[in-house]
Amino acid sequence: MIPAMVLCAGFGTRLRPITDSIPKPLLPVGDRAAFLHVVEWIESAGFGPVVMNTHHRADAFDGRVPRSVRLVHEADRILGTAGGLANAAAILGEGEVLVWNGDVAAQPDLGALLGSHRKQLRPTVASLLAARRACGEGTLGVDESGGVVRLRGETFGHEISGADFLGIQIVGERGRELLPIEGCLVGDVYLPALRRGERVAVAWHDGDWVDIGSPRALLEANLRWLRKRGLDAWIEPGAQLGPGVSVRESVVCEGASVSGSGAIEQCLVLPGATVQAPAARLIALGARQTIAVDSASPGAR
């Protein structure tokens, strides 16, 4: 089996003030926390053991992590995506490892990603799962061989396609050799490797995916979860709804309450939050504390 690392230590800066109290991977996508969808998908694909790192608000994960998942807590300081992976080496063992950002909701073909990595004709630092974009667009540029030739504004060859990196990757043996004690996979491993002429490859993902790194993307991830299941709403046990309240295209979490009269539409009411109907396109995160979410480009694909 190929081990997997789910990265859950980040601060979730773009989601503040929501993430001041709830770590980003614990934010709900439908009926469960985002990271639980990730763990379930990884294990169903036959990968394991699954290791998860924590740092910011690590106490919030207590009682929420499946027994099959091994926890590595970064107590003194956050080690970054590369450092976090290096820090878990004793549990992960040697060789290839699947690495997945705990705030990315997707259902990729992980067997195909691993197969693509193993078919590389020369040693490959990592194989990054990516969604296709027009040439020059997105976070990556890709050449005709499937290698990364553009990353963070630097170019390393002739680009024939743009791409968006999903935050899901197979880090190969060579990539693991390059891991620093503290640092970032992209900035401190992949970029220096590309500058030296080493190979970082791309495997394509053609399905939906969303990085819940902004309020708009978080709300959209929940709306998509409802639509995929043909549900108009998801109301957790323990949520309280006033007698004059109706819920449409919304997720209301455990311990939340909705008062007033009328409908809430396209809302996410987080655990313990309160909101008054009517309301639309918002995230409720506390006692009458809400974040309005516009209906422009949702940041999800």
> Is it true that the peptide bond before 17 is cis, omega within 30 degrees of 0?
yes
The residue among 113, 126, 122, 129 whose CA lies nearest residue 178 is: 126
Q: How far apart are CA 44 and CA 162, in angstroms?
A: 30
- Tokens of residue 141, six digits: 């540029």
Query: pLDDT (tens digit, 9 = 90+) per residue, 256-271?
Result: 999 999 999 999 999 9
Q: How far apart are CA 221 and CA 266, in angstroms?
A: 11
Residue 3: band (very low, low, confident or very high) from pLDDT cuts 50, 70, 90:
very high
Q: Give the burial string for 141-170 (b: 16+ CB within 10 Å, else e).
A: bbbeebbbbbbeeeebbebebbbbbbbbbb
CATH superfamily of 4-210: Spore Coat Polysaccharide Biosynthesis Protein SpsA; Chain A (3.90.550.10)
CA dihedral 9, 14, 19, 24 (to 10 degrees): -50
pTM of the model: 0.91
Q: How far apart are CA 16 and CA 35, in angstroms?
A: 18
Domain ranges of the chain: 4-210, 215-292
Query: pLDDT (tens digit, 9 = 90+) per residue, 88-103?
Result: 999 999 999 999 998 8
Half-sphere exposure of 83 (CA within 13 A, CB side): 16
Contact present, 242 and 260 (Cβ < 8 Å): yes
Mean pLDDT of 49-58: 88
Residue 134 reports pLDDT greater than 80: yes
Mean pLDDT of 178-194: 97
